[in-house]
Amino acid sequence: MTQLESIQEKLGITEPWVERGGAHWLVPGEKSVREVAQAMNAVHARFITITAYQLAGDEGFRLEYHWDLDGQLLGVAFEIAGNSIESIYHLCEGANWPEREVHEGFRLDFQGRAYEPLQLRQGEQSGVNLREVKP
């Protein structure tokens, strides 16, 4: 069994990995980001980053999480309708700053963690840099 199959098995996902745009993608289905992070930790995958995309209209956001597994780039995308998702900081310290960056750029909340206060605009609202404010 390959390590990619092992991740699938741990998560109980039957849909195969798909190679697209330079990464191997897995559709998480009903699995939470914490469950995915735990499965990645189990195979010693290295966390890389989170890329946030604001979807059109009121569709919310897509967060693409990336890990490295022996040189293979792994991607798992989560679409969120609201403004929050579970934090994986306590499972993976490397996710601390990427979560903070998405929080400050898009005003999304990673549940279960605290943030540093804004350094230069203390008390003001975060998420003014990349989040498009829709009328």
> Which of these segments, 6-14, 30-38, 71-79, 106-114, binds other proteins (CB under 8 A)?
71-79
Cβ-based nearer residue to other proteins, 22 or 30: 22
- Residue 70 binds other proteins, judged by CB under 8 A: yes
Question: In whole angstroms, what separates CA 89 from the centre of its chain?
Answer: 11
Classify residue 71 as exposed, middle or buried by CB count within 10 Å of its CB (0-12, 13-18, 19+).
exposed
- Residue 119 binds other proteins, judged by CB under 8 A: yes
Positions of E strands within 70-133: 72-80, 84-86, 109-111
Residues 6+ apart with CB under 8 A from 15: 26, 27, 29
How do beta strands 23-26 and 109-111 pair?
Answer: unpaired
Residues 84-103 that bind other proteins (CB under 8 A): 92-94, 96-98, 101
- Residue 43 binds other proteins, judged by CB under 8 A: no
- Residue 115 binds other proteins, judged by CB under 8 A: no
Name the site residues for other proteins (rule: CB under 8 A). Answer: 20-23, 44, 46-49, 51-53, 64, 66, 68, 70-73, 75, 92-94, 96-98, 101, 105, 116, 119-120, 129-130
